[in-house]
């Protein structure tokens, strides 16, 4: 599908509008603002797939009772160094920071910690959680799955068995965090969503038809999309594919083990003898305090090595080596200045949700053609 022109919405206007939508939908003002802030964080870092495009779907989940406003984490199991916490089906943007803060507190007290989170709404861009830990001076590793969110075929197969299962590793340095954060699918599901709205097309082979044909057509995932704002992955007959052939598929499998089986939040697959009515993110997070390993120079050593990697001669003329997190940092600077580019279909869907809640959308510039 061809890419459509975008409109640039100033960050403050978009942030306020999305906060108003969640507040009108039933969240307390503070919670609505926090959901909006994290969605905008995804847009600002260039991950539009996990940004405000999610607003209509989140509101629909709230209205259907699939996600619940005003929730907190509940401790299911706890020791000084580790915990399993339940998200009570709260918004991921409310629940995840609290689970991360628990891991931070335990790692500060004991040098390291492991926190498993289960039964929470969509926790969005996982890099936000790596950044939160890094701001507290901690290294962190996050393995994520989506219980009930089967979208991705395993290497060698065509049937959906995994969710898009992201992995994030964050490292603190004095010049800012270094954050690796990606889905184990070839592209995040939201990128297929963005493409289906006329945004950047996904690469050929990101999707696979039931007969094994590789494709980039969002209809493989969502079925017919013409004339509707609604994207339902249950309507498509194909699957997404993992990156890196058997390697990405293996990482996706292990995310299910750690974030699904160990947390007991459940895997992407069916519940034995049951039927799922909603999806939930699971996340197993490991936090390490460098000082407790005797690594007093860790932050300096990390930055020195990053500089050394960046000093590699580029493969092509005018090219450049970037380290993890650099593209996101650059996007943030650019988008804070220029606004968030949104496809007309994405903006229309957000406005339709707002109008359904009795809100009047703000005026925005016409698309840049």
CB of 53 to ligand NAD, least distance (A): 12
CB of 294 to ligand NAD, least distance (A): 28
Per-residue contact string for residues 227-266; x = within reach of ligand NAD by CB under 6 A = ----------------------------------------
Tokens of 242: 């993992």
With CA atoms as reference, report the closest residue to 258 among 82, 95, 75, 110: 82
Q: Using CB under 6 A, pick the residue from 103, 121, 154, 166 that binds ligand NAD.
A: 166
CB of 101 to ligand NAD, least distance (A): 18
Measured CA distances, 358 to 32, 201, 229, 351 (Å): 16, 33, 19, 10
Restricting to residues 285-324, name those near ligand NAD by CB under 6 A.
322, 324
Name which of 167 and 354 has its Cβ closer to ligand NAD: 167
The reply on whether position 335 binds ligand NAD by CB under 6 A is no
Angle, helices 55-63 vs 344-356, to 10°: value is: 30
Angle, CA of 263, 56 and 335, to the nearest 5°: 90
**Which residues contact residue 56 at a Cβ distance below 8 angstroms, ignoring those fewer than 6 apart?**
229, 349, 350, 352, 353
Checking phi first, is residue 212 left (phi over 0); if not, alpha (psi -120 to 50) or beta? Answer: left
Q: Using CB under 6 A, pick the residue from 265, 325, 339, 341 that binds ligand NAD.
A: 325
Restricting to residues 100-139, name those near ligand NAD by CB under 6 A.
122-127
Q: Using CB under 6 A, pick the residue from 327, 330, 334, 338 that binds ligand NAD.
A: 327
Q: How many residues bind ligand NAD (CB under 6 A)?
A: 28
How deeply is 338 buried, as exposed, middle or buried, from its count of CB atoms within 10 A (0-12, 13-18, 19+)?
Answer: exposed
CB of 192 to ligand NAD, least distance (A): 10
Backbone dihedral angles phi then psi of residue 68, each to the nearest 5 degrees: -125, 135
Name which of 20 and 162 has its Cβ closer to ligand NAD: 162
The reply on whether position 357 binds ligand NAD by CB under 6 A is no
The reply on whether position 177 binds ligand NAD by CB under 6 A is no
Tokens of 284: 């197993």
The reply on whether position 47 binds ligand NAD by CB under 6 A is yes
With CA atoms as reference, report the closest residue to 163 among 140, 188, 134, 142: 188
Nearest-angstrom CA–CA distance, 289 and 192: 37
Name which of 78 and 307 has its Cβ closer to ligand NAD: 307
CB of 242 to ligand NAD, least distance (A): 11
Restricting to residues 271-290, name those near ligand NAD by CB under 6 A.
281
Nearest-angstrom CA–CA distance, 208 and 248: 16
Interacting residue ranges for ligand NAD, rule: CB under 6 A: 47, 49-50, 122-127, 144, 146, 164, 166, 168, 179-183, 187-188, 191, 281, 322, 324-325, 327-328
């Amino acid at each position: 599908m061809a890419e459509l022109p975008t409109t640039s919405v100033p960050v403050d206007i978009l942030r306020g509008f999305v906060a108003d939508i969640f507040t009108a939908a039933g969240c307390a003002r503070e919670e609505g603002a926090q959901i909006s802030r994290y969605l905008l964080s995804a847009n600002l870092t260039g991950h539009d797939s996990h940004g405000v495009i999610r607003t209509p779907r989140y509101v629909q989940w709230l209205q259907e009772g699939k996600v619940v406003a005003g929730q907190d984490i509940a401790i299911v199991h706890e020791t000084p160094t580790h915990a399993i916490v339940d998200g009570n089906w709260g918004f991921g943007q409310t629940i995840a920071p609290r689970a991360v803060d628990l891991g931070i507190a335990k790692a500060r007290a004991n040098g390291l910690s492991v926190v498993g989170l289960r039964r929470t709404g969509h926790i969005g861009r996982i890099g936000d959680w790596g950044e939160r830990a890094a701001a507290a001076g901690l290294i962190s590793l996050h393995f994520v799955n989506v219980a009930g969110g089967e979208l991705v075929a395993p290497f060698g197969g065509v049937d959906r068995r995994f969710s898009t299962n992201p992995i994030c590793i964050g490292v603190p340095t004095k010049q800012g965090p270094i954050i690796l954060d990606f889905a184990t699918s070839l592209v995040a599901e939201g990128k297929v969503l963005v493409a289906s709205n006329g945004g950047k097309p996904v690469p050929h082979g990101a999707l696979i038809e039931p007969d094994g044909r590789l494709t980039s057509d969002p209809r493989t995932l969502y079925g017919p999309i013409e004339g509707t704002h609604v994207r339902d992955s249950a309507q498509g007959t194909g699957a997404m594919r993992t990156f890196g052939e058997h390697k990405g598929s293996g990482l996706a499998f292990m995310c299910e083990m750690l974030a699904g089986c160990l947390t007991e939040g459940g895997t992407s697959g069916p519940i034995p003898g049951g039927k799922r009515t909603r999806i939930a993110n699971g996340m197993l997070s490991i936090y390490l305090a460098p000082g407790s390993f005797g690594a007093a120079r860790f932050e300096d050593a990390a930055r020195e090595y990053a500089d050394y990697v960046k000093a590699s001669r580029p493969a092509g003329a005018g090219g450049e080596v970037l380290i993890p997190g650099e593209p996101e940092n650059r996007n943030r600077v650019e988008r804070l200045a220029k606004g968030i580019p949104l496809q007309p279909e994405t903006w229309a869907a957000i406005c339709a949700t707002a109008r359904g809640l009795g809100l009047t959308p703000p005026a925005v510039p016409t698309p840049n053609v």
